[in-house]
Amino acid sequence: MTLFLSNNDALAGEVPRLVELAQEWLSEEPLSRAILAAEWARVYGTPYEPTAENYRAAVRLVAASLHDPRAVLPPVWVRSGGPHAEHFSAYGSRMVDGLVFHAADMLGATEFGWAIDVDSKSGVYGSPYVRPHLTQTVPGLVDAVNWLQEGRVTFSRFENYFSLDLPDATEGDHQAPLRDDEAVALAAVRGKKSAAGLRGLLGRRSRIEAIELPAPISPRPHVGLSTDKPTAPPTVEELLPGVYASDMPGYTHEIWVDEAAEHTWGEAKFVAYEAKLAQQPGIEAVLGEDREIIHVNAPTLTDAQVLAAARAAAG
The pLDDT, as a whole number, for residue 81 is 80
- With CA atoms as reference, report the closest residue to 25 among 146, 162, 147, 138: 138
CATH 1.10.357 fits 236-313, yes or no: no
For residue 197, pLDDT beyond 50:
no
- With CA atoms as reference, report the closest residue to 238 among 170, 113, 140: 140
The pLDDT, as a whole number, for residue 41 is 92
Question: What are the backbone dihedrals phi and psi of residue 172, each rounded to the nearest 5 degrees, phi first?
Answer: 90, 5
| Alpha-helix residue ranges (DSSP H) falling in the chain | 15-27, 29-44, 55-63, 76-79, 90-107, 109-112, 138-150, 155-161, 184-189, 236-239, 261-265, 267-278, 303-313
What is the pLDDT confidence band of residue 1, given thresholds at 50, 70 and 90? very low
Whether the full predicted model's pTM is greater than 0.75, yes or no, is: no
- For the chain, give the mean pLDDT: 79
The pLDDT, as a whole number, for residue 258 is 82
Domain with CATH 3.30.1360 in the chain: 236-313
For 113-143, how does the pLDDT look when each residue is reduced to its tens digit (9 = 90+)?
A: 888 877 766 666 777 888 766 666 777 788 8
Share of the chain above pLDDT 70, in %: 76
For 203-238, how does the pLDDT look when each residue is reduced to its tens digit (9 = 90+)?
A: 333 343 456 678 888 787 878 776 555 445 778 888
For residue 195, pLDDT beyond 90:
no
For residue 250, pLDDT beyond 90:
yes
- With CA atoms as reference, report the closest residue to 140 among 129, 151, 150, 132: 129
